[in-house]
A and B are shown apart, each in its own frame.
Chain A
Amino acid sequence: MKLTPKLALIFISFAAAILVGVGLLVYSSGRTALEAATITELESISLEKSAALDTWVAGHKAHITALSHSPVLLEELVTFLGSDLNRNFAHDRLVRELSVHTGPGQPYLAFFILSPDTGEILVATNPREEGKFREDRAYFLQGKTAPFVSKVYYSLELQSPAITASAPLRAENGQLLGVLAGRLNLEDLNTIIQRRSGLRRTDDAFLVNTSNLFVTQPHLLPDPAVLQRGIHTQAVRQCLQTRSRGTISTLDYQDVPAIIVFRWLPEQEMCLIVKMDQAEALAPVQAFGRAIGWIALITLAVASVVALTLSHTITRPILAIQSVVQQYGFGNLDTRLPEKRPDELGVLAHEFNQMAERLAEKDLQLREYAHTLEQKVQERTNALQQSMSQLQRAEATGGIGSWEWLIPENQVIWSDGLYKIFGLEPQEFGATYQAYMEQVHPDDREVVHQVVEEAFQAGGVFEYECRVLRKDGKIRYLYSKGEVLSEEHGSPARMFGVAIDITERRQAEQALRESEDKFKYIFDHSIIGKSITFPNGRLTVNKAFCDMLGYSEGELKSRTWQEITHPDDIEVSSTVIASILAGERDSIRFTKRYLSKDGSVVWADVSTVLRRDAEGRPEYFMTALVDITERIQAEAALRESEERYRSLFQNMISGYAYCQMLFDQNDQAEDFIYLNVNEAFERLTGLRNVVGKKVSEVIPGIQQSNPELFEVYGRAARTGQSERFETHIDSLGVWFSVSVYSPKQGYFVAVFDNITERKQAEAALRLENERFLRFVDSNIVGIAIADAGGGIVLANDYYLNILGVTRADFAAGRVDWRKLTPPEWLPADEKAIRELRQRGVCEPYEKEYLRADGTRVPVYLADAMLPGEREQIAAFILDITDRKRAEEAIQRITDDLLRSNAELEQFAYVASHDLQEPLRMISSYVQLLAKRYQGKLDSDADEFIAFAVDGATRMQNLINDLLAYSRVGTRGNPFTAVSAEYLLEEALANLQLTIAESQAQITHDPLPVVKGDPVQLVAVFQNLLGNAIKFRGAEPLCIHIHARQQEQEWIFSVRDNGIGFDPRFAERIFVIFQRLNDRTEYPGTGIGLSICKRVITRHGGRIWVESEPGKGSVFYFTLPALGS
């Protein structure tokens, strides 16, 4: 680069560096300050939210504490827990009380009261929650002792975060009655956390729990679905991992750079995240940055102008010196610089002038040296040419040539001998390394090149052999040896060497190798096994030999011929070998057995010849062998087969007759003569000694009785066509199945079997089949034979009618029972098929078919698996449309009845329940009247008040009993197995006071275990015992309870010796409100026995009584036995 611009650039860069440095410093300090301000702002938001959250939690704690002390709540809870009668009423009151605080806009979503022992939800504002258990929840465990607000947790049921507050519910005496738990309404929490100043645009605050889930909705992500997705930003991760507070500038949940302040809230185990986008927070500092940029740009422009002027002033004299030096460089050696300047440039000019003088002297000396050097080179060249000519003479002897390669010039010099070997004239050779390589056979070039290249690297002597492809097409073999000569500093300078034509030697070697190869090929690849056996027994074998015996070549080499010869043939083989060795003959061919590797016998046709050496000594046997095992085996098999057929003929079960046919003049078959028959013939026909006789003699009249026999046999004998037929020989009374064929013209062979039995069986089967079809076609029920896949093999009209298909459809294979079955019924079919496969039959079941017209037909179906390999199912179906209709009608009536019954029960319940309320008021005020005004009014008033009190009390008792009565049907418990002894004990315990008072003697026999509702059954015992005590007579009361089993039920009896009653009333006493005695004498509402009757009826039992006035009563009732 030129000096002037260079200098200018340096000045400008310097100015720019200062400007950028100062600018950045100012910008970054502005940015830091702004960032700090933003963080402070976010932290104060965070602090405010955290405090608000604490207040919110504390508020809920206070609220639930207050609620847990509510007297109304506690009073109802005591009632709920204590009284069986008012339990439901109390339950409803509790729910109503708690529901006031739940719902949208209320602090709670739901309330529960938990059992302190089991954690079971006893009362819940949402009835569906009742019966669930919360025994392991922190709010239950902690809430038993003190008010508690849980940390935030994820509720699977709500699929949202949840917080639950709880507090113990204690009775006045401090006894723990339950735990009150309320699930907080997080809507308020959301509002608190989402509340914003409105001054900023991108600020946001939200809570995240330890599962990385949003607890409150971030306002920038308004979709409620995000609450279920996790958040895994760096801020959240850091907060959850370190469980501390901090600040971080990073990407937020929308992947936008933001400033984020996070705070761990240990109480609730949540992270509070407050954030603002960097873009918004740092907007002022960015504007400031842009202003700085503009100022810097203008300053830089001014500095550039100044720098250019300055540099120009400095470089002007330097440029003058440069132009003189340039002229000197072009050869104008007389040029000199003016030396008049006083500064450093003047000194520079003076030094330059002196250097120019000295250079002129040196130039003269150099010219003289060059001349001397040229003379010396000429002398060396002459000496070299002389030595070359000596070498050429040596080569003239032929077959040898020499060469030299001057590497730097890439020039190759060949001797005449070498040209001769290559068959080239000197002018035909390019005299370069490349030209040399072109003469080398293409296949050898790579090798030659490699040798030459290695010689380059290593230096010294090298040699190689290669082929030369001469232009006359001949190939010569060449042996080359050469040496590399290097210059002093090591790089190769030239290479020289000699080449010898070794073609003749190579050709001789080649011929020898080919002859050996041919022999080896014939030996190795012959398909005939060949071996060379040495007198010591060792073998050399070919592949065919190996294959024959299953050995590898190596395995056979280590064996002697004796080891692979069948033991029985060793002696024979030895004799043969001995005879040859003795000179009796030169070769022999014989058959012997070998043993293959797997032990099997291999037959071989062996031909061996002995080779002797020049002196006639045995050298080795050459043996050829062919595997004839298959031939030998085939011969043996043929022999065996002939034997077998002969035996078969005599022993065969079928009858056999070989006959000659006799024809009449019209060439019609007239008679035939038996030529040969087997034993079975005699056995089957009962005819003996028939050979040589005519059939007309053997079976007289056969021409008339079985003319078809002659027709068929005649046709076979004439045409040679074989035929098969069945015939009944009347005279013998036997059915035959006959095959006839003709071995030669005019003769035939009949092979026959007695099939009389089969024929009889067929007839029987036909009858059976007809019977079956009649059975199927009776069309009393639908019958089909089908497979599990939907196919139907057979169906009667009734079946097809039910399915709504025609026989034509069925015949065309268009009927598939699966396709006609609506999908919801397929599982029923599957179940039946499983059952069929297990048991062979299935329980009859109901299903529907979908008919072609779209209607559904209900059927009753039973299947049976048919025997046989193919899985076939016999199906019997009945159209039960009418029955279904009737069932539906009954069901409708039953439903109506049930509904009206339920309504009545509900009415009784509600009526009695609602009557209690005003009655309680009447009763309390009348009692108040009695207490305050007793004796203050006149005696009539006292009496009236007493009547009123009595009336109200009775009314209350009546209503309570009525309630109990109505509840038998509606509020019953599920039936369980329960011991009647226990029921009795409970009843006795409840009646303890009454029994003690009456001094009753109560005894019982052993009582069984029954199935029922224990609470209700205790009431039965209690009522019956209570009645017996109430209606006792003058003598000491004895009650005895007894039970005996009768078939599927137990009959219980409760016998007393009380006042008894007229048996006319035995029915009436079970009717509600019916009394036999005066109320004043025997108090009571008259409901007890009707409750008993209702309970026993509910249990499927009966209740009755036997009594006589003054002689006591016996109450009987039955209960189903266990397992019935």
Chain B
Amino acid sequence: MNQSFYTPGMIAMRIKRRVTRLTLAILLALNLFACSQEAPEPTLTPITVQLSFLHQAEFAGLYAAQQQGYYAEERLQISFLEGGPAVDFITPVLDGRAQFGVAQPADVILARADGKPVRSIAVIYRRSPIVFFALADSGITRPQDFAGKEIRSTVTTDQTLHATMARLGIRQDQYETVYLPSDVSLFASGQVPVWAGFSNVFVLEVERAGYEINIIYPDDYGIHFYGDVIITTDDLIAEQPELVQRFARATLKGWTYAVENPAAIGAIVKKYKPDADEELESAKMIASLPLVNTGEDFIGWMKPEGWETMEKTLREQGVLTNPVEITQVYTLQFLQEIYNP
């Protein structure tokens, strides 16, 4: 009740202000209308991504895309499902618990051969980080030495292991695989003499813990696989190609950030894994650089020959027995739109 006295000037001003407000409101309404034609989804779309292993720098690009706001720019709200040494990471994508996943290409080929409608839309590690390693004093230097031994594997490394051994004529009943956690002291105890793991992750941890090890690269034995790939289902690609496109674009942008700022990755990983050793996680990313940014094409790019080679290897080594149309295992549709090469 303070403003109870009006001079004509004040009243005129109030009227003028009202008119201005009205005009603004009309303009605003028109503007909103105009906007709504362009952007029918102003809200964030919730998306779940199934990771193939526990939280760590292996998934740096995905974290970076979230932390740098690339997903938000694409109007996506991402949550991650953690994987593990024996966690099936393809089924959640198939049954809709996750829309996207990180998987090993061999598993994608095998899943496709089993009639499961999954497809890879981009490959993150264009050189596979999967290697085998043993304590240096174990005398194990070649895959031939694995025969008759126990080998630690995980669901992500199984296919590479079988393919490598088959290539050298060693049957699956000539060695035994065990699933164990990535525990440095367990490795150091030497009970399981041969371990399969990621050169940019667990191998790094073992080396930093001061153990001398022999690393055996599948690449040296004719196994040229891609590493982590991004997968989704045929249905999602057919029904919401634009959503897949947005996810792929933001994810690759995240990986580009990770490649260009590897030292910043430790702090980002810590947000997902609070007990992470920041320096170690950054080191993992640095070790991943030559796998992700190979200097050919673009980050995330796939080559049909790469997939053909993998299929050929898996078939020759008897790991893949069902027929599969290899061009259905991946699609270049999204990479081509993003990079427009």
Q: A residues 717-761 with Cβ under 8 Å of B?
A: none
B219 close to A (CB within 8 Å): yes
Contact in complex: A228, B8 (CB < 8 Å): no
Q: B5's contact among A135, A433, A491, by CB below 8 Å, is which?
A: A433
B230 close to A (CB within 8 Å): no
Answer whether A212 and B141 are a contact pair too, CB < 8 Å, given A156-B219, A228-B289. Answer: no
Contact in complex: B295, A209 (CB < 8 Å): yes
Q: A residues 259-273 with Cβ under 8 Å of B?
A: 269
Answer whether A133 and B295 are a contact pair too, CB < 8 Å, given A157-B217, A230-B289. Answer: no
Answer whether A156 and B289 are a contact pair too, CB < 8 Å, given A230-B260, A491-B8, A492-B11. Answer: no
Q: A133's contact among B14, B220, B294, by CB below 8 Å, is which?
A: B220
Q: Within the assembled complex, what's the spacing in Å between the Cα atoms of A133 and B8?
A: 96
- By beta carbon, the residue of chain A nearest B261 is A232
Q: B289's contact among A133, A211, A407, A491, by CB below 8 Å, is which?
A: A211
Answer whether A492 and B199 are a contact pair too, CB < 8 Å, given A228-B289, A230-B289, A449-B1. Answer: no
On chain B, the residues within 8 Å of A269 by CB distance are 295
A326 close to B (CB within 8 Å): no
Contact in complex: B293, A135 (CB < 8 Å): no
Answer whether A407 and B215 are a contact pair too, CB < 8 Å, given A156-B199, A212-B259. Answer: no
Contact in complex: A132, B260 (CB < 8 Å): no
Contact in complex: A156, B260 (CB < 8 Å): no
On chain B, the residues within 8 Å of A456 by CB distance are 6, 11
Q: B4's contact among A134, A232, A449, A827, by CB below 8 Å, is which?
A: A449
B286 close to A (CB within 8 Å): yes
Contact in complex: B217, A156 (CB < 8 Å): yes
- By beta carbon, the residue of chain A nearest B5 is A410
B191 close to A (CB within 8 Å): yes
B24 close to A (CB within 8 Å): no
Q: Within the assembled complex, what's the spacing in Å between the Cα atoms of A491 and B220?
A: 94
Contact in complex: B5, A230 (CB < 8 Å): no
- By beta carbon, the residue of chain A nearest B297 is A210
On chain B, the residues within 8 Å of A827 by CB distance are 186, 191
On chain B, the residues within 8 Å of A211 by CB distance are 289-290, 293-295
A824 close to B (CB within 8 Å): yes
On chain A, the residues within 8 Å of B199 by CB distance are 156
- By beta carbon, the residue of chain B nearest A228 is B286
A276 close to B (CB within 8 Å): no
- By beta carbon, the residue of chain A nearest B214 is A128
Q: A residues 208-231 with Cβ under 8 Å of B?
A: 209-213, 228-230
On chain A, the residues within 8 Å of B144 by CB distance are 131
Answer whether A407 and B6 are a contact pair too, CB < 8 Å, given A211-B293, A456-B11. Answer: yes
A136 close to B (CB within 8 Å): yes
Contact in complex: A437, B4 (CB < 8 Å): yes
On chain B, the residues within 8 Å of A133 by CB distance are 220-222
On chain A, the residues within 8 Å of B26 by CB distance are none
A131-153 Cβ-contact flags toward B at 8 Å (1 or 0)? 11111100000000000000000
Contact in complex: B7, A408 (CB < 8 Å): yes
- By beta carbon, the residue of chain B nearest A407 is B6
- By beta carbon, the residue of chain A nearest B296 is A210
B139-166 Cβ-contact flags toward A at 8 Å (1 or 0)? 0011010000000000000000000000
Size class of the contact patch on chain A: 35 or more
- By beta carbon, the residue of chain A nearest B260 is A232
Contact in complex: A229, B262 (CB < 8 Å): yes
Q: Within the assembled complex, what's the spacing in Å between the Cα atoms of A817 and B191?
A: 20
Q: Within the assembled complex, what's the spacing in Å between the Cα atoms of A161 and B156?
A: 28
Q: Within the assembled complex, what's the spacing in Å between the Cα atoms of A213 and B294?
A: 10
Contact in complex: B191, A824 (CB < 8 Å): yes
B340 close to A (CB within 8 Å): no
- By beta carbon, the residue of chain B nearest A152 is B295
Contact in complex: A210, B295 (CB < 8 Å): yes
Q: Within the assembled complex, what's the spacing in Å between the Cα atoms of A157 and B129?
A: 11
- By beta carbon, the residue of chain A nearest B295 is A210
B304 CB, min distance to chain A CBs, angstroms:
16
Q: Within the assembled complex, what's the spacing in Å between the Cα atoms of A228 and B15?
A: 69
A152 CB, min distance to chain B CBs, angstroms:
9
On chain B, the residues within 8 Å of A408 by CB distance are 7-8
A457 close to B (CB within 8 Å): yes
B99-121 Cβ-contact flags toward A at 8 Å (1 or 0)? 00000000000000000000000
On chain A, the residues within 8 Å of B6 by CB distance are 407, 456
On chain A, the residues within 8 Å of B186 by CB distance are 827
B276 close to A (CB within 8 Å): no
A441 close to B (CB within 8 Å): no
On chain A, the residues within 8 Å of B291 by CB distance are 156
Contact in complex: A491, B12 (CB < 8 Å): yes
A434 close to B (CB within 8 Å): yes
A154 close to B (CB within 8 Å): yes
Q: B residues 12-35 with Cβ under 8 Å of A?
A: 12, 14-15, 18
- By beta carbon, the residue of chain B nearest A129 is B220
A262 CB, min distance to chain B CBs, angstroms:
16
A445 close to B (CB within 8 Å): yes
Q: A residues 429-454 with Cβ under 8 Å of B?
A: 433-434, 437, 445, 449
B174 CB, min distance to chain A CBs, angstroms:
11
B127 close to A (CB within 8 Å): yes
Contact in complex: B1, A229 (CB < 8 Å): no
A195-219 Cβ-contact flags toward B at 8 Å (1 or 0)? 0000000000000011111000000
B164-186 Cβ-contact flags toward A at 8 Å (1 or 0)? 00000000000000000000011
Contact in complex: A491, B294 (CB < 8 Å): no
Contact in complex: B15, A457 (CB < 8 Å): yes
Q: Within the assembled complex, what's the spacing in Å between the Cα atoms of A131 and B14?
A: 91
A823 close to B (CB within 8 Å): yes
Q: Within the assembled complex, what's the spacing in Å between the Cα atoms of A131 and B259?
A: 34
Contact in complex: B222, A135 (CB < 8 Å): yes
Q: Within the assembled complex, what's the spacing in Å between the Cα atoms of A437 and B217?
A: 91
B267 close to A (CB within 8 Å): no
B189 close to A (CB within 8 Å): yes
Contact in complex: A132, B5 (CB < 8 Å): no
B287 close to A (CB within 8 Å): yes
- By beta carbon, the residue of chain A nearest B14 is A457
B224 close to A (CB within 8 Å): yes
Q: Within the assembled complex, what's the spacing in Å between the Cα atoms of A827 and B186?
A: 9
On chain B, the residues within 8 Å of A228 by CB distance are 286-287, 289
Q: Within the assembled complex, what's the spacing in Å between the Cα atoms of A210 and B292?
A: 12
Contact in complex: B142, A131 (CB < 8 Å): yes
Q: Within the assembled complex, what's the spacing in Å between the Cα atoms of A487 and B7?
A: 13
A438 CB, min distance to chain B CBs, angstroms:
9
B251 CB, min distance to chain A CBs, angstroms:
19
Answer whether A156 and B262 are a contact pair too, CB < 8 Å, given A456-B6, A491-B11. Answer: no
On chain B, the residues within 8 Å of A128 by CB distance are 141
On chain B, the residues within 8 Å of A229 by CB distance are 262-263, 286, 289
Q: Within the assembled complex, what's the spacing in Å between the Cα atoms of A232 and B263?
A: 13
On chain B, the residues within 8 Å of A136 by CB distance are 222, 224
Q: Within the assembled complex, what's the spacing in Å between the Cα atoms of A502 and B18?
A: 36
Q: Within the assembled complex, what's the spacing in Å between the Cα atoms of A135 and B167?
A: 13
Q: Within the assembled complex, what's the spacing in Å between the Cα atoms of A433 and B221?
A: 99
Contact in complex: A132, B220 (CB < 8 Å): yes
A587-599 Cβ-contact flags toward B at 8 Å (1 or 0)? 0000000000000
On chain A, the residues within 8 Å of B296 by CB distance are 210
Contact in complex: B259, A230 (CB < 8 Å): yes
| Chain B residues within CB distance 8 Å of chain A | 1, 4-9, 11-12, 14-15, 18, 127, 141-142, 144, 185-186, 189, 191, 199, 215, 217, 219-222, 224, 259-260, 262-263, 286-287, 289-291, 293-296
| Sample of 18 A–B contacts (CB below 8 Å) | A134-B220, A154-B290, A154-B294, A156-B290, A209-B295, A211-B294, A212-B259, A212-B289, A229-B262, A230-B259, A230-B260, A407-B6, A449-B4, A457-B14, A491-B8, A491-B9, A824-B189, A827-B186
A-B contact sample (17 more), CB < 8 A, given A136-B222, A230-B289, A456-B6: A156-B219, A157-B215, A157-B220, A210-B295, A211-B295, A212-B259, A213-B289, A228-B287, A229-B289, A230-B262, A230-B293, A434-B1, A437-B4, A491-B11, A491-B12, A492-B8, A823-B185
The 8 closest A-B pairs by CB, nearest first: A210-B295, A491-B8, A132-B220, A211-B295, A154-B290, A232-B260, A824-B189, A211-B293
